[in-house]
Amino acid sequence: MSSVLASGYGSSDGDNRPWRSRLGLTQSLRQGIHLASWLLAGQVAVSAAQFASSMIRARGLSVHDFGEFAYAAALVSLFAIIADFGITLILVRELSRASASPRPLLQTATGLSLAMAAVAVAAVAATLTALHASWLVTCISLLFCGQLVVSAFGAGPIAYNRARHDTAYEALGRLGQAATLAGGGWLLLQQGASAVSFALLGLAGVVVSLLPVVGRAAATLGFIGPRLDPRVAARLLSAAWPVGAGMIATGVYYYFDTLFMAALGQTRAVALYSASYVLLFGATTIVSVLQSAFMPILSKAAVVDRYRFGEACRSFVGVSALGALALCATGPLAAPYLLRGLYGPAFADAVLALRILFVTGGVMFLSSAFGTSMLALGKQRQYLGVVAAGAAINVALNFALIPAHSLNGAATATLLAEASVCVLMAWRLRRAVSGDALSASATRGLEGVLAQ
């Protein structure tokens, strides 16, 4: 373990504050765990349901149709980033710091999210036309686009509840989504349903997941309808565009490999790789949960108490490092049993790719912690530069490795790109902290966190 845990940011050398003030690490960690626990409960249930749905699709559909479903999912997921474009993350940060009524900001955020969702849907439609996609891929993609439009209404309420540290309703919605996916998937399997029916089920799950969140926010603020205040929208986009561009770059190295394999006609490889990715996303569920939990804590501390920021950052990185070690130690060993047991012998050829992806997941824990800390400090442009570099590395490696090595080459490219992002993000965070107006002891502590 690095000095992340040993040399705490905010070393007490020369610190004369009362002992209660030195409990910032414990308080930040407890607060983060409290927020994460609700989100984790719901997200674990959703991940379990997605596991079940993926396995049901793998057993109920042909390998070709399973691959077509994965192709459509990757295509829409890439353009779905446009629909959010980092607005939710920036909104959480702004709401965590704001003292005025949040309603005007949330209304504009909802209107902006709907406008961005419309742009994403148009981009998907244009891409499907340009690629002469099959009827099956087109139908599934359009149903996935429906999820983007519905989700736009939840962006504001989700950010509002997270900023208020009220995540129980979001967890409840995810539990409802999990029940919809698992129960509906089982019924569809019994009926021998098509891939289009499974896509429609996904849309229903998103609707169910948002009902408690939107209802909770409406009970406090009233219904948050869409409205576009040009000045507020411009301010949000000005803060969010580096994050959104960074998310697009990240999406490139998450989805470009699948799309490239599909373009090369490697439909079976797409199916196997998709199954591996479902397992990876399930194993790294806690990454997004930790990001959602610690972002409001870090954002507030970055403005109000820079000493506390360092303590919270140390907690975040420490927990992430433990998650990385656990996944890297157990994932590769469990890979063959997971694929054969959950998906069947037809997916056994994906074992090596899954092992590589599990190691990638371990790296994701740390790169996410460093990246979230950068965003909390308001260093969006530095964040964008790092993820853009990672995307460029990934695309170049995909062109070099996938034609000859198929899904194993895709997994290797993803690992190398993610490792590059992790190292560069740690370096940029260290530079940002060194050049910022932090106390001397705090700066020494966080530099110790990143030194290893």
pLDDT in tens, 69-80: 989 988 898 888
pLDDT in tens, 77-91: 888 888 877 777 777
Provide the b/e sequence for 403-417 (b: ≥16 CB within 10 Å).
eebbbbbbbbbbbbb
Structure token pair of residue 227: 């409205």
Share of the chain above pLDDT 90, in %: 22
Under the banding of pLDDT at 50, 70 and 90, the label for residue 174 is confident
pLDDT in tens, 309-362: 777 788 888 888 888 899 999 999 999 998 888 888 888 899 999 999 999 999
H and E: helices and strands count for the chain: 15, 0
The whole-number average pLDDT for the span 393-417 is 94
Who's near 234: CB < 8 A, 6+ residues apart? none
Q: Residue 58: what pLDDT?
A: 77
Under the banding of pLDDT at 50, 70 and 90, the label for residue 437 is very low
Average pLDDT over all residues of the chain: 79
Q: Residue 404: what pLDDT?
A: 92
| Higher pLDDT, residue 16 or 217 | 217
The answer to whether 40 and 286 are in contact (CB under 8 A) is: yes
Count CB neighbours of 135 within 10 A.
9
CA 183 and chain centroid, separation: 25
DSSP-derived secondary structure for 317-360: HHHHHHHHHHHHHHHHHHHHHHHHHHH-GGGGGGHHHHHHHHHH
Angle between helices 267-283 and 351-376 (to 10 degrees): 50
**Residue 122 gets which letter from DSSP?**
H
The whole-number average pLDDT for the span 94-120 is 80
- Reduced to 3 states (helix: H, G, I; strand: E, B; else coil), residue 370 is helix
Structure token pair of residue 188: 């569809």
pLDDT in tens, 239-289: 777 777 877 877 777 788 988 998 888 888 998 998 888 888 878 877 777
Amino acid at 419: A
DSSP-derived secondary structure for 144-186: HHHHHHHHHTTHHHHHHHHHTT--HHHHHHHHHHHHHHHHHHH
* φ/ψ (deg, to 5) at 179: -65, -40
Q: Residue 139: what pLDDT?
A: 93
pLDDT in tens, 121-173: 999 999 999 888 889 999 999 999 999 899 888 888 888 877 777 777 887 88
Under the banding of pLDDT at 50, 70 and 90, the label for residue 10 is very low
- State the residue for tokens 């998937």: 185
Q: Residue 261: what pLDDT?
A: 92
Q: Residue 27: what pLDDT?
A: 55
Under the banding of pLDDT at 50, 70 and 90, the label for residue 5 is very low
Alpha-carbon distance of 393 to 260, in angstroms, equals: 15
Alpha-carbon distance of 193 to 241, in angstroms, equals: 41
In the predicted structure, residue 11 carries a pLDDT above the cut 80: no
* φ/ψ (deg, to 5) at 82: -60, -35
Provide the b/e sequence for 317-351 (b: ≥16 CB within 10 Å).
bbbbbebbeebbeebbeebeebbeebbeebbeebb
In the predicted structure, residue 416 carries a pLDDT above the cut 80: yes
Q: Residue 201: what pLDDT?
A: 92
Q: Residue 443: what pLDDT?
A: 42
Structure token pair of residue 39: 């989100």
**Segments making up each domain of the chain, as ranges:** 21-451
Who's near 243: CB < 8 A, 6+ residues apart? 85, 86, 89, 90, 375, 380, 383, 384
Report the predicted TM-score, pTM, of the whole model to 2 decimal places. Answer: 0.67
Q: Residue 131: what pLDDT?
A: 84
Q: Residue 352: what pLDDT?
A: 95
Determine the longest span between alpha carbons in the chain, in angstroms.
70
Share of the chain above pLDDT 70, in %: 83
Alpha-carbon distance of 203 to 153, in angstroms, equals: 14
Q: Residue 28: what pLDDT?
A: 53
Q: Residue 358: what pLDDT?
A: 94
- Reduced to 3 states (helix: H, G, I; strand: E, B; else coil), residue 233 is helix
C-alpha angle 135/137/138, rounded to 5°? 60
| Higher pLDDT, residue 411 or 31 | 411
